[in-house]
Structures are given as C-alpha cells and as structure tokens.
Amino acid sequence: MLHDLDMEKRLREAKLRPTRQRVALAEIMFGKGDRHLSAETLYEEAREAGVAVSLATIYNTLHQFTDNGLLRAISIDSSKTYFDTNTGNHHHFFFEDSEEVVDMPDGYVTVANLPEPPAGMEVSRVDVIVRVRNNVS
Amino acid sequence: MLHDLDMEKRLREAKLRPTRQRVALAEIMFGKGDRHLSAETLYEEAREAGVAVSLATIYNTLHQFTDNGLLRAISIDSSKTYFDTNTGNHHHFFFEDSEEVVDMPDGYVTVANLPEPPAGMEVSRVDVIVRVRNNVS
DNA sequence: ATTTGTGCAAATCGTTTGCATCTGA
DNA sequence: TCAGATGCAAACGATTTGCACAAAT
C-alpha cells in the first residue's frame, strides 16, 4: 500500500494541494486496487479509518479528483454517482439485481462502425455498459 | 399524429388502463417522433397542452410505461433520468457541453468480443454511449 | 500574508410516498 | 361495485452552497 509521500507526489502532479484530508482520502481510495466508490462509502471508510472529514469535503474531494484525472465518474441507473479509481480505458458490467458495477478489462470489447460525430465535435470517450441479470429462464 | 383511439389500443396492449391522463400523456410523448423526455419536460408540455396532471402522476406514468415496454429509461451523467420513446435497439450520443442525449440509429455501432457474463447471468442489454464535446483544439 | 481548503448547517433538486378522493371496467 | 388511478403535500436522499474558520504555500 502506498504511503503518504507517494500520495503527496500524486496529488501535486494532479495540481492539487496535498492537504491532510486529501492525502488520507487518497490512501483509502487508491490503497485497495480498482474500486467503485460512492460518496457515502468513502465517508464511512474514512470514519472507520479514524479520519475525520465532513461529507462536504468528501464531495469536494471526489469532484476535484475527477476534474484532475485521478478518478472517473460513472452514473448508471441508480440515483447515486460512483467514482472509479481506474481511469484507464475499460468498460463495465452492471448487475441489475444488485446494482453493482464491475470493471471489464480493456482488450475485450471492441466497438466498430462508430458514426462520425457532428462537425466541430470530437469523441471524448466511448462507454460500453453490459447490463446483466440473473438468468430467470 | 396518432389520435386517442390508437393510444387507447396501445395502452391496452401494454396492459395499462387507458385513463384520461395516460392517453393524454402518451399523445404528447409519442406524437412527435423519437425523443428523450425528463419528468419535468413532460410536465411542462402537458401544462402547455392544457392537460392538468400532477407531477406525481407524471412520474407514475413514466415508470409504468417503462415497466411495460413503452419507454426506456436512460441515465447518463446528469442527475435527472430521461425516458426514451425509442425502445428499439439503438445507442446514444451524449453531448457533454449541453448534456443532450441523441439517438444513434441502429446498424451503425457493432460491439464485439464481449466477455462471457458470469455463470447464471445473462446479458439483458448492451448500452453504448459515445460522449462528444466541442472540439477545443 | 494570501490563497485555497474545510466543516457545518441550511438549502436545493429530483423523485417518492401516504392517504383521501375519483374513475374506468 | 371496487380495484386501480390520481392529486396533493409532506417526506426523502443525494448533492450543493454560503460562510466563518483553519491550514498550506
């Protein structure tokens, strides 16, 4: 697991001041591999880890991280937004029953025959969501 | 534009009682080709058309229609849910700047190399969202 | 010293719910 | 008749905001 100094560096590279809270939250977020966090989840994990942060700061942090490329926001169906610690090129499975989002490794899905975007527009990203459910035959 | 009797039939086929409100809302929804409506939009259009419905009924109707296959719910990014009057097989452009959702005709996009869904699961749908933005070179 | 971040509580906003009243079959 | 719909207002849950205080450069 990465420690404070690594996180400080990572935050500085993202042009974010490495404040106590941001470093602590970054450790929680990035310390356990790829994950999909909601604000509430992160808030609880922070409390459990003994880090005292307000929910407002959680939201601020998630958005700042997203704006600066440390996280990717995904909103599929459910009312709450999830933040993906994996910002690389990949797609998702969405389990309709449990409302869970799971990464699909890159290299699997290929998207072909994309129509041209309208003039003056450029594609910023292509998201593929494979919705799956229990096989109720 | 389709008229009352067609809508009544359509609602009955979807196993929904053709009440005054549902028929009126269906006409507004389906009378102008494929569209992406939010609850608020539909509410305003109904008022403009002189149809007195409460917001609660708007929500009820949108969900009942969705459950019975007359609409498809899509939630991309923004906080509000949109309902697509096109329930056929197709994908979407999402304009990041204006937060607009636009249909992409079927036959264009091809998705290949989908990984197998986990055991006991079946794919219920594959959504492709092409996010585009203004070309800021 | 300045700028930027944080915490708290109140405010927003989309959506849902409870319940009394109506309506279609 | 009477299950199913509707309307209203109150309740909700996620997110945002305003502002005073604290911390980072």
Helix (H, G, I), strand (E, B) or coil at B48: helix
Mean pLDDT of chain B: 91
pLDDT at res. A4: 61
Considering all nucleic acid strands, name the nucleotide whose C1' atom is nearest to the C-alpha of residue B79. C14
Q: Among A16, A30, A27, which residue's Cα sits nearest to residue A60?
A: A16
Q: Greater confidence, A106 or B69?
A: B69
Put simply, whether A40 touches B (Cβ < 8 Å) is: no
Query: Is the pLDDT confidence value at B5 over 80?
Result: no
Higher pLDDT, B99 or A3: B99
Contacts of B75 in chain A (CB under 8 A): 75-77
Q: Please state the length of chain A.
A: 137
Which CA distances in Å does B129 have to A14, A18, A55, B56, B92? 27, 34, 31, 30, 5
Q: Which of B75, B96, B115 sits opposite A76 (nearest CB)?
A: B75
* Residue B123 banded pLDDT, cuts 50, 70, 90: very high
User: Does the CB of A96 have a partner CB in chain B at under 8 Å?
Assistant: yes
Question: What is the fold, at CATH topology level, of the domain defined by B4-84?
Answer: Arc Repressor Mutant, subunit A (1.10.10)
Of B8-12, B72-76, B96-100, the least confident: B96-100
pTM: 0.90
Closest CA to A65 of A82, A43, A35, A85: A85
Output A105 or A72, whichever has higher pLDDT.
A72
Mean per-residue pLDDT, A49-74? 96
Tell me what pLDDT residue B137 has: 59
**Helix, strand, coil percentages for chain A (3-state, nearest 5):** 30, 25, 40
Q: How confident is the model at residue B98 (pLDDT cuts 50, 70, 90)?
A: confident
- A119 vs B59, higher pLDDT: B59
A1 pLDDT above the threshold of 60: no
User: Average pLDDT of chain A?
Assistant: 91
Mean pLDDT value of segment A50-75: 96
Q: What are the sequence ranges of the domains in chain A?
A: 4-84
pLDDT at residue A41 is higher than 60: yes
Nearest chain A residue to B74, by CA: A77
Q: So what's the pLDDT on residue A3?
A: 62
pLDDT at A6: 86
CA nearest neighbour of A100 among A133, A65, A125: A133
pLDDT reading at B89 higher than 60: yes
The strand pairing partners of A82, in sequence order, are A74
The Cβ of residue A71 has, within 10 Å, a number of other Cβ atoms equal to 23
Positions in chain D where some atom is under 7 Å from a protein CB? 4-9, 13-18, 23-25
Chain B touched by A114 (CB under 8 Å): yes
What is the per-residue pLDDT for A108? 84
Neighbours of A29 (CB within 10 A): 21
Rounded average pLDDT over A84-109: 89
Nucleic strand D within 7 A of Cβ A81: yes
Footprint of strand C, using CB within 7 A? A 16-17, 19-22, 52-57, 60-61, 64, 79; B 17-20, 38-40, 55-56, 59-60, 63, 79-81
pLDDT score of B1 more than 60? no
Report which secondary-structure segment, H or E, holds B64. helix B55-67
* Chain-chain contact of B128 with A111 (C-beta, under 8 angstroms): yes
Higher local confidence (pLDDT), B1 or A42: A42
Residue A26 pLDDT > 60: yes
Output the pLDDT for position B22: 97
A121/B128 touch (CB, cutoff 8 Å), yes or no: no
